Amino acid sequence: MSLDLQLRLLDEPHHLQSVLREVFFDLFERQLEGAIMVNRDARVVWLNDRYATLLGLASPLDALGAPIETLIPHSRLREVLATGEPILLDVMDYRHQMFVVTRFPVKNAHNEVIGAIGILLYERWEPLKPLLAKFKLLQSELDQARRELGKQRRAVYGLDDIIGQSPACQQMKCLAQRAAQLDATVLLEGETGTGKELLAQAIHNTSSRADMPFVALNVAAIPDTLLEAELFGVSAGAYTGADRKGRDGKFKLADGGTLFLDEIGDLSPALQVKLLRVLQEQEIEPLGSNRLLRIDVRIIAATSHRLADRVTAGLFRADLFYRLNVLLIVLPRLCDRQTDLPALCQHLLQQITDRAGLATRSLTAGALACLARQRWPGNIRQLRNVLEQACLHSDRHRLDACDFDQLLPDPVAADTIAPLQETLAQAERQALQAALIACGGNRTEAAKRLGISRATFYEKWQRHGMLEAQQPGSTTWR
């Protein structure tokens, strides 16, 4: 303490408060590795020279007015501002270096939070060394566990696994190759079972993110109330019960890699807004936290509806659609790539028999012709199911047309001429089934796509005596 300061302390006790402030300020300024202050909007109002140097700034003045996260992405000063509570001891990661930090609020005479101070206690502080060493060990164990988990979240398929040489298939693969080279958001549009997830995996595996996780989530399969937590995660303490320790969401799990969002058209309006924000900011806010986490995730979204139609119908936000529709790949229906059928059958039969430990199977020309006459509303997944059932039901090495008699949803003999009324009824039945499958079991949507009312849809559905419990993708409908 300077002589001048000592004298002022002795002579003028009423100056005590301002002198103490000077002392503390001096301490912050010179003694601490780093000290930074923000106002109530979390914008920097002061920082000492050392912190400025650490942040790579020529002068502390360069930081003034900047939102704290633009300088220190993992800062929790905003949390201190929001809660008014200090965070007395914490470990902060800054550019892969660990710092022990302490943060506390600054309050006015009315006990209102008017700012917050963050202090950096660098690791050269001897007493903190054991704590830091322990933290580093835990952190490296956690990183190791994450890497292991990442390996389990690998995409298994590549572009070579996409079978087919038809022009439609080649065009699809060509676009997928381009999508893999760019890091842009991709939108996959195709009926159920056309191979959207397979293509998403192949794009990921061909991209520069191939060594990072591939995480898939079917948006339509999770109730709205749970979906937000599933996507963005839950912060520790946000809930009681199972989630009280906090949980990473799919975005965090996919960090550095690819997140495949299937049936994106079914996303609720509220979550559409949140997803749009994530795409714009590349930041997520876990539930129950007011902290934004930076993430680096490539989104591949998929839909079995035409997403543009949903925008027109007011069901999907146009701004989100444009964000997703950067690179659109439309997957052809199986019936639009008939020439791929033999190669696809051979590939799928090999896959089926390998997995089930069965002897190799092939198809006779008659069987192939019979399969080629089908409309395949469930596309390749339906074809795979039919082939699998045929393998299980028959011992023949070369499966013949008769092996599929009982399995095909609607065996159409090309040479059978039926009364017109019956043919029309059959066509109507198939149209209802195909629409329902294409709409993921949503009858209102199916009716809309067919251009009829929901009531008419029901009436026709019942008149044809179609099964109540029919599932999209199932091969056992009538």
Ligand X SMILES: Nc1ncnc2c1ncn2[C@@H]1O[C@H](COP(=O)(O)OP(=O)(O)OP(=O)(O)O)[C@@H](O)[C@H]1O
List residues near ligand X by CB under 6 A.
162-164, 190, 192-198, 262, 304, 344, 347, 380-381, 384, 473
Residue nearer to ligand X on the CB measure, 164 or 286: 164
For ligand X, the closer CB: 221 or 273? 221
| In the complex, minimum distance from the CB of residue 442 to ligand X, in angstroms, rounded to a whole number | 13
Distance set, CA 470 to CA 24, 264, 376, 477, 478 (Å)? 74, 23, 16, 6, 9
Task: Give the shortest CB-365-to-ligand X separation in angstroms.
Answer: 22
How many C-beta atoms lie closer than 10 Å to residue 339's C-beta? 14
The CB-of-399 to ligand X minimum distance in angstroms stands at 18
Q: Give the nearest distance from C-beta 371 to ligand X in angstroms.
A: 15
What is the smallest separation between the CB atom of 407 and ligand X, expressed in angstroms? 17
Return d(Cα 268, Cα 216) in angstroms, integer.
18
Q: Which residues contact 81 (CB under 8 A, 6 or more apart)?
A: 38, 40, 42, 105, 113, 115, 116
When the beta carbons of 162 and 264 are compared against ligand X, the nearer one is 162
User: At closest approach, how far in Å is the CB of 166 from ligand X?
Assistant: 10
Residue 360, classified by CB atoms within 10 Å of its CB into exposed (0-12), middle (13-18) or buried (19+), is: exposed
Q: Measured from the CB atom, is 158 or 473 closer to ligand X? A: 473
List beta partners, residue 363: 399
For 52, 53, 167, 189, 275, the CA distances from 376, given in Å and listed in that order, are 65, 65, 19, 17, 34
* Radius of gyration for the chain, computed over Cα atoms and rounded to the nearest angstrom: 31
**Residue 118 vs 193, nearer CB to ligand X:** 193
Alpha-carbon distances of 253 from 198, 206, 217, 225, 230, rounded to whole Å = 20, 20, 11, 20, 10
Kindly tell me which of 82 and 163 has the beta carbon lying closer to ligand X.
Answer: 163
- For residues 33 and 266, which CB has a smaller minimum distance to ligand X in the complex? 266
Strands 398-399 and 34-39: unpaired
- Nearest to ligand X by Cβ — which residue? 195
Nearest distance from C-beta of residue 436 to ligand X, angstroms: 13
